[in-house]
Amino acid sequence: MRQLRLYYTPGMLVDDERALVRRSQERDLQAYGELVVRHEAAVFRVCWRLLGDRAAAEDAAQDVFLRAYDRLDTFDLDRPFGPWVRKVAANWCLNRLAAARPTQPLDEDDGRGPIGPASDHPEAVQVGRELEAEVRGALRALPDKHRAVVELRHFQDLSYSEIATALKLPVTDVRSYLFRARRLLAERLGHLRGEG
């Protein structure tokens, strides 16, 4: 019996994804479904970090993929799909936050968020959850654009110019927002390093 051997070559997954995007641009729903499956966790994480609420993030992720599908004709096939759809997610969340500020505190995570406990030891799990909740609270307390810049830079690993393009800001504003956001986070979380 002959064995099928698969060899990975650099760019193989990129080319495969490019083909999926091309088919999606031709309105092939099965191909777009595959793109959604590949990127739904990353899009959810962007929405969850910016909105701070699991249910809202789930709804937002669905809306983001619908919006991205409608805008596929603007997608440049020479670029990767993942960063593009995460930028769509960040912009969608920022627009939602700007349109309606929450009237009540955002719900706390139920412990099943994107960042899980690092240990099974009960005290370590509890300490980890408390630290995570504190960091999440500090991030939520940032102004919307500051929070978006932190998300795109530190969690999505975008460059300053990519963030500027995604948020339609000059690079100098991106640097300024990031500097202020880091300073605000350091002030709020300095006690974690024994500074407060």
The structural domains of the chain, with segments of one domain joined by +, span 10-100, 115-196
- Digit-coded pLDDT (tens) for 97-141: 777 554 434 444 444 444 444 445 566 656 666 777 777 778 888
Per-chain mean pLDDT for the chain: 77
pLDDT at residue number 122? 65
Asked: is 115-196 a CATH 3.50.50.60 domain? The reply is no
pLDDT at residue number 100? 53
Distance between CA atoms of residues 180 and 37, nearest Å: 35
pLDDT at residue number 9? 37
Query: Which class is domain 10-100?
Result: mainly alpha
pLDDT at residue number 163? 85
CB 139 within 8 A of CB 153: no
Reference 84, options 23, 38, 29, 145; nearest CA is 38
- Report residues of the chain scoring pLDDT below 70: 1-15, 100-129, 191-196
